[in-house]
Structure 1
Amino acid sequence: MTDLAFTDAFRLARMIENKELSPVELTEHMLGRINRLNPEINAYLSPLESAALEQAAAAEKEIMAGMYKGPLHGIPVGIKDNYKTKGIRTTAGSKLLGDFTPDINATVVDKLAAGGAVMLGKLNMQPFGAGLAGHNQDFGTPRNPWNKKHIPGGSSSGSVAALASGMATVATGTDTFGSNRVPAAFTGVYGLKPTYGLVSTHGIFPSAWSLDTAGPIARSVPDLAIMLEHMAGFDPDDPASLNVSPQNYMEGLDADICGMKIGVPDYYLQGLDKSVEKIFKSAVAILEEMGAEVREMDIPELSLAPFAGFVTTAGEAAAYNYEGMKKHPEAYPKDVRVLLSTGLLSSTAQYEKAQQARRKLVEGLQKAFTEVDVLLGPTAPVTAPKLSSKPGAQSLEVVQKCTPFTVPANLTGIPALSVPMGMDKKGLPAGMQFMGPHLSEKRLLQLAKAWEETGPLKKKYGELEGNRL
């Protein structure tokens, strides 16, 4: 029998459309795994068993009546807990919001529901999206299914842990300075940060308003494409929303990448762990064998990214959380307090200098994209570290190491897609990211699909199931 827990959404969709698989059967299977595995993995803060079964039954009834809505109809989806869900507890990973029940849905939640998706539950996350390690001292840190002694990455920690352990088919995430891509790299899944404004952030708790991006996380490239089609679109309730023509991201997904020009900035070759460096060099060689033209290039403006990213993130996050920090400082974990306190101490002059650096970075990448189609680098310079007994210190260390690799895409608003590139000797996944100019998601997905076909991640989820869970 097909292993439903690790079957991609686009394959499950065909089975459901052809009435070979019942949405109720699929949802019951996933809920069973959640009941069995979540106490150990801690991916879900709020499983929604009754609601999920009701949604699955409604989807099945519609499909049997000939009202099939498309490839998400009846597909189980996990929702990151900073997406507001009407009548359902939404904590943003913090006990400060432990009893908060919104009276609206985030726009993306409504879009997924309109496509017939089944919401399995609300996923764990680093509090307020402020971090890349995935620690949560309030509700417990999710575990990395590849090795439960290691962190999953964050802030979309529950999203990736659910996917890598077969407790969700697809999931939502958010990415302010790498929160989709770093955990995707640490757990061997695919994480997309779309162009800023392509996906509405209305109804999502903000981290840093000028950087926040909502996007999908999945176990395959076609699943990312399906999710992005449902998530993207103009939203008048989001001031940053882009009013652009909708795309069919599945169309042309198998395009040939022969002749595609890929640039590897020198910036992304610095400070790599030896195992990540070795895997990355091997990945570059494979891309060249596939017909891509890969060359190193110098983009000096990338050196401005750590300063601009830290000052922008800390300043904007501090502004949003000012009242909460003032009234309930004890509710914020130590690493989040450090970030927010730094933002409160930053001057207007520092913020302005950061925006000037940001403008230069935009210009530098615009110039680079006149020479190459895509930029490439490791998603993170390390694989997932072991879970530390000092989570605050570890969280700050992971931010310091990984933010320089991911934040350039956030600062410039360009899309970036993390893909699995291989395993280190410890059996932990490493990731690399493709970055393109604004609204080049289709190109990035095509490149990622071609890469996916090479099968570089030899250890598949079924083996993970047998050996680890």
Structure 2
Amino acid sequence: MHELAYVPATKVGALIQTRKVSAEEVTKLALQRISDHNPRLNAIVAMDEEAALHTAREADKEIKSGQIRGPLHGVPITVKDSFSTMGLATTSGCTALKGYVPDKDAAVVSRLKQAGAVLLGKTNVSPLLMDIQTDNDIYGRTNNPWNDTRTAGGSSGGSAASVAAGLSYLDIGSDIGGSLRIPAHYCGVFSLKPTEGAVPATGHMPGFEGMADYASSRHLACYGPLTRSIEDVQAAFAIIAGSQGYAGGLPNGPQASSPSPSTSPLRVGWIDELPGYPVSRSIQEALRRFVQKLASQGIFVKQITSPPLDIRAAWETWGKIIDAEQNSTSSIIQRGLSYLATRKVSQQVPTASMLVPLTFKNYMRVLTKREQLIRSFEQFMAGYDVLLCPVSSTTAFPHLQKTKMVGYQPIYKEPLYIDGKPQNYWIATTYYANLFNVTGSPVVTMPIGFDTDGLPIGIQCVGKRWRDYDLLNSVSALVERCEKWQPPCTLT
């Protein structure tokens, strides 16, 4: 059974559905691997083993009777500890929610259960999903399966570590500024940040009903799968996609693009570094080698020498929207003090920009600026099927201690180092990722190699808005040019 640990979810599903192996056997294998390896990784933080085994047995009965719900029927999965799960603790890494147990499932969880997936448990997050490292006062720190001394990323760090380590066959995470893509890059797995609104937010970060009588996070956030193959990304997305309730998406919006591969030649643009924002040599060299390989096989590739949109304006827009929506319940005095405290920081870190004063008119202005940036980027993408670029400036870095917490916002004064040169923590981790939360573009993270320390390197594959399936088809063609996915060398 051990050889099944790293088999892609859809292939395990096919084995279960043809009754070459049972869902119960595969679930027991996953539970055993969790028992063996999770104490070191701390990726999975809440479980109900009996419920998982019961679901697996029921899946086997259905399959035996000829009822097959889809490619994930009987497959053990996990979900990020920010999605509501009926009867299973959901904390979003927030101490105020320790022990909180929802009475219903989030939309994505419900859809996966209806598709026959077996929920093993929940994966660890940073407090209120507000850091690029995964560590909180309820469950502690998650370690990278490639190297215990390195971060797994955040806020979907437990998700990426669980999938990379073969503890789960796939996971669902969230992303408002790189929280799917950065952990996928650090842990060497695939992820999809869909077009904003393609997957419903319903049931994400439950338990905060008393803070406001409205949904405060209206823009930028997306929800998608982390997997060990592009085929698994496609299968999971097909299950969870489609708007619901206040999620803000168009019904079946991604269906505007074709699930079938295009016969047109691929056109690939690529950027290995933005001016003034360095990327490690190992990441640049891996991207260049990959692009050269594509070119040698007849794929059209073109290096983009100038940014495809106003980078500074995009970063400032991201910061102002986050500030306006997530801090909308703060008093005028609180906002004034925060503005004075962060004014110098925002000059260096544009994503720390605040919307001051926070008025309806200024909020409409920043949303209008975002629409202009979206149009500009979509005009650029009209000439390409995929834009390739780094996810982050570094590979997985050593665990870094925060200087302090301001509410749930971690403050880091110690820099990260890129080829020996110090760089601001937030710039080094998020700047290449949150641009595409502003544009709302779908992005696949794809592993393409390793650095000299043996740590994974992933790249962003960016597509056109609402052309998620076209992007997935394009990335499938690119994956064929990569070496076969491999598990972390530290695990057996």
Match of 2:299 in 1: 292
3-state SS, counterpart of residue 45 of structure 1: strand
1:284-316 alpha-carbon deviations (Å, 9 max, x no partner): 112222332111333242332221112222332
380, 389, 400: which one pairs with 1:377?
389
347, 356, 362: which one pairs with 2:357?
347
Equivalent-residue separation in structure 1 for 2:256 and 2:372 (angstroms): 33
3-state SS, counterpart of residue 451 of structure 1: helix
Q: Structure 1: which amino acid aligns with 2:36?
A: R
Greater displacement, 154-163 / 347-356: 347-356
8 A contact 1:228–1:249 mirrored in 2: no
State how many pairs are aligned. 446
Match of 1:277 in 2: 284
- Structure 1 residues 286 and 464: alpha-carbon distance in aligned structure 2, compared to 1, 3 A threshold: farther
Match of 2:240 in 1: 231
1:104 aligns with 2:131: no
3-state SS, counterpart of residue 457 of structure 2: strand
* Structure 1: gaps of 5 or more residues: 327-337
RMSD: 2.7
1:78-109 alpha-carbon deviations (Å, 9 max, x no partner): 01111001222110112111121112211111
1:368 aligns with 2:380: yes
The within-5 A match list for 1:171-250 is: 171-205=171-205, 208-235=217-244, 237-244=245-252, 247=255
1:418 aligns with 2:430: no
Q: Which TM-score applies when normalising by structure 1?
A: 0.88
Q: Which TM-score applies when normalising by structure 2?
A: 0.84
Equivalent-residue separation in structure 2 for 1:305 and 1:133 (angstroms): 23
8 A contact 1:24–1:53 mirrored in 2: yes
Match of 2:37 in 1: 37
3-state SS, counterpart of residue 136 of structure 2: coil
Q: Structure 2: which amino acid aligns with 1:315?
A: A
- Structure 1 residues 127 and 160: alpha-carbon distance in aligned structure 2, compared to 1, 3 A threshold: same
360, 370, 375: which one pairs with 1:358?
370
3-state SS, counterpart of residue 149 of structure 1: strand
3-state SS, counterpart of residue 101 of structure 2: coil
Q: Select the structure that is richer in helix.
A: 1
Equivalent-residue separation in structure 2 for 1:211 and 1:113 (angstroms): 26
8 A contact 2:198–2:253 mirrored in 1: no
Match of 2:310 in 1: 301
CA displacement at 1:424 relative to structure 2: 0.2
1:86-133 alpha-carbon deviations (Å, 9 max, x no partner): 222110112111121112211111100100000000111112111222
3-state SS, counterpart of residue 465 of structure 1: coil
1:315-372 alpha-carbon deviations (Å, 9 max, x no partner): 322237x59xx9xxxxxxxxxxx99xx7888432665554343233112112102222
8 A contact 2:47–2:121 mirrored in 1: yes
Match of 2:157 in 1: 157
8 A contact 1:423–1:457 mirrored in 2: no
8 A contact 1:129–1:207 mirrored in 2: no
1:229-281 alpha-carbon deviations (Å, 9 max, x no partner): 1101232x23403212675999535x667x31122257646411111111111
Equivalent-residue separation in structure 2 for 1:76 and 1:266 (angstroms): 37
- Structure 1 residues 315 and 229: alpha-carbon distance in aligned structure 2, compared to 1, 3 A threshold: same
CA displacement at 1:208 relative to structure 2: 3.5
CA displacement at 1:398 relative to structure 2: 3.9
Greater displacement, 310-319 / 434-443: 310-319
3-state SS, counterpart of residue 448 of structure 2: strand
Match of 1:76 in 2: 76
3-state SS, counterpart of residue 70 of structure 2: coil
* Structure 2: gaps of 5 or more residues: 206-214, 335-345, 404-409, 416-423
Percent identical among aligned pairs is 30
8 A contact 2:177–2:434 mirrored in 1: yes
Match of 2:129 in 1: 129
Q: Structure 1: which amino acid aligns with 2:278?
A: G
Equivalent-residue separation in structure 2 for 1:352 and 1:345 (angstroms): 11
